[in-house]
A and B are shown apart, each in its own frame.
Chain A
Amino acid sequence: MLDVLVIGGGNAALCAALMAREAGASVMILESAPKEWRGGNSQHTRNLRCMHDAPQDVLVDAYPEEEFWQDLLKVTGGITNEKLARLVIRASSSCRDWMRKHGVRFQPSLSGTLHVARTNAFFMGGGKALVNAYYRSAENLGVQIRYDAPVDALELDGDRFVAARIGSERIEARACVVASGGFESNREWLREAWGQNEAGEWPADNFLIRGTRFNMGVLLKFLLDAGADAIGDPTQSHSVAIDARAPLYDGGICTRVDCVSLGIVVNRDARRFYDEGEDFWPKRYAIWGRLVAKQPGQIAYSIIDAKAVGRFMPPVFPGEKADSLPELARRLGLDERTFMETVDSYNAACRMGDFNHEVLDDCHTEGLEPAKTHWARPLDTAPYYAYALRPGITFTYLGVKVDENAAVHFDGRPSGNLFAAGEVMAGNVLGQGYTAGVGMSIGTAFGRIAGTQAAAAALSGSRGQEEKTLHPGKEHAAA
């Protein structure tokens, strides 16, 4: 019988498979996607947030545990689990040699990403290169890999894993790691989670999925229905305001629109609704998806003037361009009068200081609601550009509750041989919000833990099996 079955094919799944194989277990990976789409959301990632106490190859300065923890505490608003979060943070400081061993290569931070040169280690070639390296290493180590293998159900004996089912096929294993992602590709589930708003709209119908098209949440749903303890809010997710013209799935990084902090953002009613200059865009982009989701029609428009051109990462789609603001409003189909009121009152409220988009400068508005607290400069230089924005969901945070051994919990008790890693359990650490690269930190840390624990559970053999039967709940101390 197979020792460890890994369900999923992204970073967490691969980390689990590699660790389990290194521990001597026989391992099979079941990736639901075909080979050319393998890797889930990991193919769209680019870096890993890393704790480090001193400069480390591509990472400059230091990023101590406490600072990482405070950053995480801040973005999640405290909706996190300190024990698990610190475990991820510590693991992030020491995992990169192991990653290199399996072929992952790092590079200095990319152009236009200076803000994360200290905190994030970039994968050379991005996440797909990382995924490729892990698959190559897994193949070399003799991990069995199956593509087009969507598991639709598990066979459980109480809280113990027995087998996985793909249609009528049954795959038994001594232990299992579920690393099959969130449910963001499942439009029906998103619709149900977000429900109807006061205006009678179904907001999720207007969401785009930045991530993979294969995360249907089948196993997440199965586990929750089977009595696994849930964690997280189904409406919480990594949600970015992206170009409204982005593809429905797999838009990835290039669909972002980085000019928000250099101009203003108005909704369908041509009114502003949030401080565009609250903080550096990379620290704020992950809240704007949700902000736009709460606007009528789930759409917003980032408006800039010619002064901003060349000061932000080039967008993938050209902006709507006009030589005057009223013309721009007409092109966008916005009410021209309201739009001009919004822009005029913003322009009048701007208090110019020393504009510098590379620091939190002193250009701000006065007496304007909502305020723009940095980089506030009047929109007065033609041509003007507009980019329509939609919420772009990368991954959802609803998941299964786990402990420090990545064991899935049923009624508050950890399973002896069923583990979870990656986005299917990221909600344990990320209740809301996001900070760049932390998804990969969670996936790598818990993937590696889950793989180790699954191998230990599988290899502990029949003696271990008896002990577990005699002393339920104690197996983790032993493992």
Chain B
Amino acid sequence: MPTPTLFMPPRHYLNDGYGIKSWLLTRDHKRIALLYLAGVTVFFFIGGAMAVLIRLELATPVGDLVSDETYNKLFTMHGVMMVFFFLIPAIPSVLGNFLVPIMIGAKDLAFPKLNLASWYIYIIGASFTTYSLVTGGLDTGWTFYAPFSTVSSTSNVISAALGIFITGFSSILTGLNFIVTTHRMRAPGMTWFRMPLFMWSIYATSLIMVLGTPVVAITILLVAAERLFHFGFFDPRVGGDPVLFQHLFWFYSHPAVYIMVLPAMGVISELVAAFCRKQVFGYSFVAFASLGIAVLGFLVWGHHMFVAGQSVYAALVFSLLSFLVAIPSAVKVFNWTATMYKGSISWQTPMLYAIGFIGLFTIGGLTGLFLAAVGLDVHVTDTYFIVAHFHYIMVGGTIMGYLGGLHYWWPKISGRLYPEFLAKLSAGIIFLGFNLTFFPQFVVGYLGMPRRYHAYPPEFQVLNVLSSAGASILGVGYLIPMAYLMWSLRYGKIAGANPWGAVGLEWTTTSPPPTENFAETPIVTWDAYEYGGKLEGHVA
């Protein structure tokens, strides 16, 4: 706990060089993490603004706020911005960049220049997509389905697609950097099974980034080539098959869901251990569950296409494989709860987010089983049931994990504490606002309200008003942390090296850490999460 004797280290990565150049040309993974933090925050609020307009439009059954065409562009750009420029990079590029070298006792990632280049690639890609947003928008849905995207749509498909193509390389190079770093940069004694579980989940995520992203890159390139040069890959007029586009697209875009949620699971493992003061129950099961999810995630894309005309037998196999993903996911949920059992739980903000994650992810995961079942999926395909399901995973999962991790490591990142009461309050607001926004969507979707329309039958209005009300609460919940985290940079209490009394190499160095992370390369002789053992006294 903070005491008046705590002080900021005289020399740390934040005061190691001042001025814009020292940031824009930095090769320090910690500064690059903060560059990403700025980037993803901007795109989160752009995507969020679209969501506000969508929910405002849906407060009434008739399309009165925006035209149908504008509405199509709103939900498309909401999805594109949130998926490609916030959810996918958020945890790996911000928390992963900051923590991966520190957690394994390295001075930096294996390729620091490549890491900086990844950020620039991300920004360039985002600029292209933003360009298409401000010059008329995009109306294909975030999924770019052909032949609408290749032939019919008159909106700015090419610049938006190019932006996603470019940003994909940021993702690939970040994953590559993490993989090589994990293999080659671990400190002496930091064996694979001594690594924090966050590292395992980032490693599994990196595998998906490296294996999946190139496939969506080529797919998007084919869409652009088809628009530009009238190539015929997905054009039925010359014998091309639009369903092939869906196969190629979902081959990446389903695993992309695990790019979003696996790192959040890694964060939750850290939080649960730190705030229950216990070794994570079944460490190796949780570690291998991450790899299991990454592998299985590549084999289930067909469940997005149960109504797209794929063969019945393919649908059966995809259905079965999709059910299998529930096993490693459930292993994690059970192991986190088993870790909490008889732990000495302290209810600080990160733990509130962890509990929130476990609850929301469980709902999101279980409704995912509904969708893996072919018969039920046919009933709810393209309804708000789907929308609610994936928001429970992406928002209830990824953003809860992201915010929990951001609060947990904020003292390490900034050297200062955030105001605990406000943080707890906003965690509560977010949880309530989230459920009020998205739970009614399960109901309205099951009753038959289709997604992607700006008007709907009046009998759905009550549920939609509830959802819109929840969204406004959720929006407030996101603005409060934004405000107090910025405030804490200057006025927060000095955190000290280890404000949580947590174990893990990141808590053995100063807050904020020096540029080279550790005064000396640590030699690791202990397992992760040795709570209540020799380590806790040793790092306090």
Q: Do A and B come from one complex?
A: no
A-binding residues in B (CB < 8 A)? none
